[in-house]
Amino acid sequence: MRTPIDPELIARHNASLERDLKEDYQHLGAVLARRGVDLDEVTGRIRRFAVAIPSWGVGTGGTRFARFPLAGEPRNVFEKLEDCAVIQQLGRATPTVSPHFPWDRVEDINGLRDTARSYGLGFDAVNSNTFEDLPGQLSYKFGSLTHTDRRVREQAIAHNLECIEVGKKLGSRALTVWIGDGGNFPGQQDMTRALERYLESMHPIVAALPEGWRAFIEHKLYEPALYTTVISDWGTSFICASQLGPNVQCLVDLGHHAPTTNIEQIVARLIQFQRLGGFHFNDSKYGDDDLDTGSANPFQIFLVFNELVDAELRGAPGFAPSYMLDQSHNVTDPIESLLESAVALQRAYAQALLVDRKRLREAQEANDALLANRALHSAIESDVEPAIRMARKLNGGAIDPVAVYRASGYRRAKAEQRPQELTGKAGIV
């Protein structure tokens, strides 16, 4: 397997931190044993935790105002895979990549699959894109799968069918459909007819899904449409999934909700009715900010994982969510942000595993709100870093991945090897 970072560097780094890690791990083990928790069992679960990297996330992101490119950032999908391989080699929690078409379109799809395999990487859900125009195509200015013009709808359907064909070659098992369709003015769009057109357009896409595949409907409150959005919330997504078939589920992008939305409750509902397809993890304060997961509001991601772990431990029927990141790295090195974001998810997962669910259930049944809330807080206040670090080391990664990444000089080397115009046009990628 190709390893972009010198394995010796990781081995020397881990050797220098091993004794302290063992000490911290034994101490945490003793603390948790007093709470009746087996640390090795928790570490085992963390070792099996995996989240997909968004191919579009390893390049620098931007806003409508500007994008500030980073010297050495990837210029094409093959360089994106190389950077994804660095994240997997150091962090050992991101074995798959979620691609986006046509951004990642190449002639030789099998070559793309083989390049990923040469780094030990696979592919998660493929993302279609009917929110941007390509030269020579009908415009998506007024929508795609819900456009009033049948020819535009058919173009959008054909693109999604093409994404499924590409995904089959890559070994993906899901298609994520996010559309920005909607209106900017009251009256501009007939809201009922728009949703009717959406369902009509989604039927042939769902019918084309191979055996064992799923389609994920990704809802979003607003942007780019600023008054109505056809698939604006989990309720609309849920109804559409229910109409379209058992292999159609809802994808929760954390940034696609109004700031005060109770996202963990949405997750609980989707689990209860077996429509939770997966996640686009990120963080936000105002809108679809696509900030690093857990960077602004770590309690939010913990509360989501509290629902996910409860479902995992109770064996909730049909529970098989796909975990993916979806972030925009405007001011950090994307590799460092994605390494830290995967760790933020491992941390939320590990802390949710420490919730004393028997004590929580007793407090809930007894309407003892204080003890119930404390059951969650005593978990999130636990320092689980030794468990996450041990899991990473046992998986062959670096105890402190960002430290090794910086010591490797990888980005500096790529700045030499990837000469490019560092002129940033506005836009998310």
**Which residues of this protein are in contact with Mn ion, per CB under 5 A?**
253, 280, 326
Residue 238 as a binder of ligand LRH (CB under 6 A): the answer is no
Please name the amino acid found at residue 223: E
Helix, strand or coil for residue 13?
helix
Which is closer to ligand LRH, CB of 177 or CB of 339? Answer: 177
Query: What is the Cα–Cα distance from 262 to 116, expressed in whole angstroms?
Result: 37
Is the CB of residue 255 less than 8 Å from the CB of residue 284?
yes
Least separation in angstroms between residue 177's CB and Mn ion is 11
Which is closer to Mn ion, CB of 88 or CB of 328? Answer: 328
Query: Crossing angle, helix 109-118 and helix 150-170, to 10 degrees?
Result: 40
Instruction: Locate all alpha helices (DSSP H) within 50-131, ordered by sequence.
Output: 77-91, 109-118
- Binding residue for ligand LRH, selected from 218, 292, 307, 333, defined by CB under 6 A: 218
Least separation in angstroms between residue 363's CB and ligand LRH is 37
Which is closer to ligand LRH, CB of 324 or CB of 355? Answer: 324
Which is closer to ligand LRH, CB of 127 or CB of 237? Answer: 127
Least separation in angstroms between residue 62's CB and ligand LRH is 12
- Residue indicated by tokens 């954390």: 254
Sheet holding 96-98, edge to edge: 53-54, 96-98, 122-123
Q: Half-sphere exposure (CA, 13 Å, Cβ side) for 76? A: 9
DSSP assignment letter at 56: G
* Structure tokens given for 294: 């857990």
Which is closer to Mn ion, CB of 252 or CB of 355? Answer: 252
Least separation in angstroms between residue 178's CB and ligand LRH is 4
Residue 56 as a binder of ligand LRH (CB under 6 A): the answer is yes
- Binding residue for ligand LRH, selected from 119, 178, 216, 279, defined by CB under 6 A: 178
Which is closer to Mn ion, CB of 119 or CB of 281? Answer: 281
Query: What is the Cα–Cα distance from 339 to 69, expressed in whole angstroms?
Result: 19
Q: Which residues 316-345 are close enough to bind ligand LRH by CB under 6 A?
A: 326
Least separation in angstroms between residue 52's CB and ligand LRH is 12
Burial of 208 (0-12, 13-18, 19+ CB in 10 A): middle
Which is closer to ligand LRH, CB of 177 or CB of 376? Answer: 177
Residue 181 as a binder of ligand LRH (CB under 6 A): the answer is no
Residue 307 as a binder of ligand LRH (CB under 6 A): the answer is no
Least separation in angstroms between residue 218's CB and ligand LRH is 5
Is the CB of residue 149 less than 8 Å from the CB of residue 158?
no
Which is closer to ligand LRH, CB of 84 or CB of 388? Answer: 84
The CA-CA-CA angle for residues 251, 256, 261, to 5°, reads 100
- Residue indicated by tokens 């929508």: 143
Query: What is the Cα–Cα distance from 300 to 261, expressed in whole angstroms?
Result: 11
Least separation in angstroms between residue 251's CB and ligand LRH is 8
Please name the amino acid found at residue 409: G
Q: Which residue is nearest to ligand LRH, using beta carbons?
A: 178
- In the list ligand LRH, Mn ion, none, the entry touching 307 (Cβ below 5 to 8 angstroms by class) is none
Least separation in angstroms between residue 176's CB and ligand LRH is 7
Please name the amino acid found at residue 247: N
* Structure tokens given for 103: 């951004």
Which parts of this chain interact with ligand LRH (CB under 6 A)?
56, 127, 178, 218, 220, 253, 280, 288, 326
